[in-house]
Amino acid sequence: MISFQSVTKSFREGLTALIRVNFTIEKGEFLYLIGPTGSGKSTLLRLIYFDLLPSAGEVRVANYSSSSIKRKEISTLRRKIGVIFQDSKLLKDRNVYENVAFALQVIGTPRREEAKRVLEVLGRVGLTQKRHVYPYQLSGGEQQKVAIARALVRNPFILLADEPTGNLDPESSDEILYLLKDIHTSGTAVVLSTHHHELTNKNPFRILRIQLGVVTESS
């Protein structure tokens, strides 16, 4: 489904960072991306949704290639990729329902379909009763659940979670991980970026480790 073929991404602004990767993510897979802060985990995720392009080599996502994809095709592809960040990036002036619905409104989803899908994903993350609440009224874990609902509402084939538990307490982290596992079980591929190694011990899945700019597989 996603393949990195001898991909290199380098930066020359300030400190130089270089990432060399060569691997494949299969359909419906759960994958940990492990590495210390600043190792390039976020960069690797950005390569998947073509926010960055490789300096050399090729990234293939579904039927799209980094060597030939057009700008309008990137927008089309991103509609099928869910992304969650360490900071939930919720709109502060919109309630829970409106934050999730916004992801559908920007692509012109009919109002009736919008309501059906938003309520469905809010139920999935356990926040139906808080749909009229604003982000500042939620805990950190609840805010991340809203971010997950927003990422899921377009029915993505893959969910990219960039340090989603980085700012959470252990109990909230476990809840988010349980939710991501449930999403994976339903058939959506999940790539979870983290520097918390204990998460991989609790829930063993395939691990890709970034160290000194090189990605290796470990168990």
Quick one: which H or E segment has residue 134?
none
Domain-wise residue ranges, the chain: 1-80+156-219, 91-155
pTM, 2 dp? 0.91
167 token code pair: 């700012």
Is 30 strand, coil or helix? strand
Q: Please state, in angstroms and rounded to a whole number, the distance separating the CA atoms of residues 18 and 8.
A: 7
How do residues 81-96 score in pLDDT, each as one tens digit? 999 998 899 999 999 9
pLDDT in tens, the chain (219 residues): 788 887 877 665 444 456 678 889 999 999 999 988 888 888 899 999 999 999 889 999 999 999 999 999 999 999 999 999 988 999 999 999 999 999 999 999 999 999 999 999 999 999 999 999 999 999 999 999 999 999 999 999 999 999 998 888 889 988 999 999 999 999 999 999 988 777 788 778 999 988 877 788 876
pLDDT, residue 15, reads 43
For CA atoms 91, 92, 93, 99, give the dihedral sign. positive
The first and second tokens of residue 116, run together, are 């059906």
1-80+156-219 sits in which CATH class?
Answer: alpha beta
Distance (Å, rounded) from C-alpha 48 to C-alpha 206? 18
Q: What angle do CA 95, 172, 165 make, to 5 degrees?
A: 85
Report helix, strand or coil for 78: helix
